């Protein structure tokens, strides 16, 4: 029998499942494997009211906001997000908080006993997604808020198919193009693939190319599309909160939830989302961390950064996963960057991490106005260099995995 007494033991036990993910490409992974694993443990997803969130930018923030609003209405809510920042337990949250370590380890021990006789070895992400559904069933949550990991159509979260599933699409842009497609239309088709027959879909109105794909697909599923227009001048977290609030209102009307007081609504806008415009104070320094890793996410982050700290340039610590479009990010960062420290990612979560070489990042900035450029492959030393800068405000960006590593070092 499996008996895990610490979260670190759980993380160690998952290393073979990371390796299993490394043996596949994104195009080879469908929901069939996840469905077989879910069936093996009783199809927990079929017993849950699911709020399913897909998109390119803003998924995690929107999930946190939806969860908080539902909790304030009196509901019990399960939440899974990825990647995690501080602990794998973040992937199985109840009412916006990770399970206590002993409860998490107890559930995980029981689950691993169940899947020892599973039909095939799952990947890390497949295992953790079915585990989240399974725990939420055990906890008898009123709602399960599920964030997709990659795309939507073939994502392991996409095993929930009840007609009452509420689908949420955040802003859709170009990302993971080696897996999801080279055009915005191809990527939109992957994202909207979370929609099952008779589902309601909520989203902000986006480009004509995106909306045409969404409308056609939702219609083919006999679903209900509820687009809304939002002020483009809003900062990205405000935009995400507005979408989350519209989701809450829809559920309130459908499921007769309690209407929120004005103060609850105001407080819900202040929810802290780890790794997204994440501000940490250390030794007189303000460290701003954001895992922006594509053009859409970086534009949104920098808009918020410049609004918070106008007319300021910052020392930037940066790393990127292989496959990210470095050349698209450099022109966005140059105007706000006083100095660059290029570093590299280590470790793994859902899949083995492959980092763009720090030298390649540094070279991409060499012909820009950023004169102070350093290469430091060791994240520990890179952070020390960043904190030694004369600036009171410093920035860490380029990857959520980098942000997670830096948060761990700062703690």
Q: Residue 125 in contact with residue 24, Cβ under 8 Å?
A: no
For the cut 50, the answer to whether the pLDDT of residue 381 exceeds it is: yes
With respect to residue 144, please indicate whether it lies within any of the assigned structural domains.
yes
Mean pLDDT, residues 108-137 = 95
Count CB-CB contacts under 10 A for residue 389: 17
Give the contacts of 200 (CB within 8 A, at least 6 positions apart).
166, 167, 223, 224, 226, 250
Confidence category of residue 179, pLDDT binned at 50, 70, 90: low
Q: Report the pLDDT value the prediction gives residue 279, as an integer from 0 to 100.
A: 94
With respect to residue 2, please indicate whether it lies within any of the assigned structural domains.
no
Better pLDDT: 367 or 290: 290
Q: Report the pLDDT value the prediction gives residue 235, as an integer from 0 to 100.
A: 64
Count: domains in the chain: 2
For the cut 90, the answer to whether the pLDDT of residue 342 exceeds it is: yes
- Same domain, residue pair 296 and 152: no
Task: Give the Cα separation of 40 and 25 in Å (integer).
Answer: 24
- Same domain, residue pair 159 and 199: yes
With respect to residue 359, please indicate whether it lies within any of the assigned structural domains.
yes
- Same domain, residue pair 129 and 215: yes
- Same domain, residue pair 73 and 162: yes
Q: Report the pLDDT value the prediction gives residue 331, as an integer from 0 to 100.
A: 95
Q: Buried b / exposed e across 156-195, counting CB within 10 Å, b at 16+?
A: bbbbbbeeebbbbbbbbbbbbeebbbeebeebbbbbbbbb
With respect to residue 1, please indicate whether it lies within any of the assigned structural domains.
no
Q: What are the residue ranges of helices labelled H in 51-174?
A: 59-72, 101-115, 124-138
- Of 242, 268, 294, the domain-final residue: 268
- For the chain, what is the largest distance between any 2 Cα atoms, rounded to a whole number of angstroms? 59
Q: Report the pLDDT value the prediction gives residue 351, as an integer from 0 to 100.
A: 64
Confidence category of residue 177, pLDDT binned at 50, 70, 90: very low
Q: What is the DSSP letter of 171?
A: B
Task: Give the Cα separation of 386 and 34 in Å (integer).
Answer: 42
- Same domain, residue pair 389 and 352: yes
With respect to residue 400, please indicate whether it lies within any of the assigned structural domains.
yes
Look up residue 114 and give its two tokens. 């169940």
- CATH number for 240: 3.40.1190.10
The whole domain housing 262 covers 7-268
With respect to residue 368, please indicate whether it lies within any of the assigned structural domains.
yes
- Same domain, residue pair 72 and 209: yes
Q: How many CA atoms lie within 13 A of 57 on its CB side?
A: 25
With respect to residue 367, please indicate whether it lies within any of the assigned structural domains.
yes
DSSP reduced 3-state for 161: coil
- Same domain, residue pair 31 and 167: yes
Look at residues 144, 149, 95, 145 and name the one whose alpha carbon lies nearest to residue 127.
149
- Same domain, residue pair 123 and 229: yes
- CATH number for 358: 3.90.190.20
Give per-residue pLDDT as tens, 285-335: 999 999 998 898 899 899 999 999 999 999 999 999 887 688 899 999 999
Give per-residue pLDDT as tens, 38-54: 999 999 999 999 999 99
Provide the terminal-to-terminal Cα distance of the chain, rounded to the nearest Å. Answer: 34
Q: Report the pLDDT value the prediction gives residue 5, as an integer from 0 to 100.
A: 87
For the cut 60, the answer to whether the pLDDT of residue 349 exceeds it is: yes
How much is the mean pLDDT over the chain?
Answer: 91
> What pTM value is reported for the model?
0.91
- Same domain, residue pair 14 and 160: yes
Rounded to an integer, what is the distance from CA 96 to the centroid of its chain? 15
- Same domain, residue pair 248 and 367: no
User: To which H or E segment does residue 243 belong?
Assistant: helix 236-255
């Amino acid at each position: 029998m499996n008996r895990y007494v610490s979260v670190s033991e759980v993380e160690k036990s998952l290393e073979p499942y990371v390796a299993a993910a490394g043996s596949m490409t994104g195009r080879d992974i469908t929901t069939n494997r996840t469905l077989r694993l879910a069936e093996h443990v009783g199809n927990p997803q079929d017993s849950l009211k699911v709020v399913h969130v897909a998109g390119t930018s803003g998924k995690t923030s929107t999930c946190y906001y939806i969860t908080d609003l539902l909790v304030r209405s009196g509901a019990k809510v399960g939440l899974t997000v990825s990647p995690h920042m501080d602990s794998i337990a973040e992937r199985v949250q109840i009412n916006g908080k990770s399970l206590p370590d002993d409860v998490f380890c107890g559930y995980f021990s029981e689950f691993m006993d169940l899947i020892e006789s599973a039909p095939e070895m799952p990947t890390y992400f497949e295992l953790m997604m079915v585990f989240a559904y399974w725990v939420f069933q055990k906890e008898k949550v009123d709602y399960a808020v599920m964030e997709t990991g990659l795309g939507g159509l073939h994502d392991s979260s996409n095993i929930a198919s009840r007609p009452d599933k509420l689908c949420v699409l955040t802003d859709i842009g170009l990302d993971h193009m080696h897996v999801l497609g080279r055009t915005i239309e191809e990527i939109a088709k992957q994202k909207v693939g979370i929609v099952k027959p008779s589902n309601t879909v909520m989203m902000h109105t986006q480009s004509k190319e995106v909306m045409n794909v969404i409308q056609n697909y939702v219609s083919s599923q006999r679903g209900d599309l509820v687009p809304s227009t939002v002020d483009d001048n809003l900062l990205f977290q405000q935009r995400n909160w507005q979408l989350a609030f519209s989701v809450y209102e829809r559920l309130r009307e459908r499921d007769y939830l309690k209407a929120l007081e004005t103060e609850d609504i105001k407080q819900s806008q202040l929810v802290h989302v780890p790794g997204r415009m994440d501000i940490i104070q250390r030794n007189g320094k303000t460290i701003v961390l954001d895992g922006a890793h594509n053009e859409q996410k970086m534009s949104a982050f920098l808009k918020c950064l410049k609004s918070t700290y106008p007319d300021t340039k910052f020392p930037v610590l940066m790393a990127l996963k292989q496959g990210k479009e470095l050349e698209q990010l450099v022109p966005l960062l140059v105007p706000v960057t006083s100095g660059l420290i290029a570093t590299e990612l280590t470790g793994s979560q859902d899949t083995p991490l492959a980092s763009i070489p720090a030298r390649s990042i540094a070279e991409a900035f060499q012909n820009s106005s950023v004169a102070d450029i350093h290469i430091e492959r060791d994240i520990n030393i890179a952070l020390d260099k960043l904190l030694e800068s004369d600036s009171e405000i410093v920035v860490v960006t380029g990857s959520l995995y980098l942000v997670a590593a830096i948060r761990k070092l700062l703690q």
